[in-house]
Structure 1
Amino acid sequence: DSRLRPRWLPAMYPRLAEWRAVRDDMDPHGVFVSDQFRRLQP
């Protein structure tokens, strides 16, 4: 995962947009995020 590029993420996870909507709804302030999550944000 440390070599994963942000542009590759949507190809690996076709429902990524749906997941991001759920995540934003459940954690609107971004409290529960990891370093990897921060790195892979567009």
Structure 2
Amino acid sequence: MKKAIVLFVFLSACVLGRADQAFTDSTGRAAHNQTLS
């Protein structure tokens, strides 16, 4: 049972990490452009 929880958390972290990466990429550029102007 513990292994299933660990695996679920690990997969969630991977999915969230990828989503967060894409999110920070798109918003990061916008924020960077805003701070420049």
Same fold (TM over 0.5): no
Higher helix fraction: Structure 1 or Structure 2? 2
Report the structure number with the largest CA radius of gyration: 2
TM-score scaled by structure 2?
0.38
TM-score scaled by structure 1?
0.35
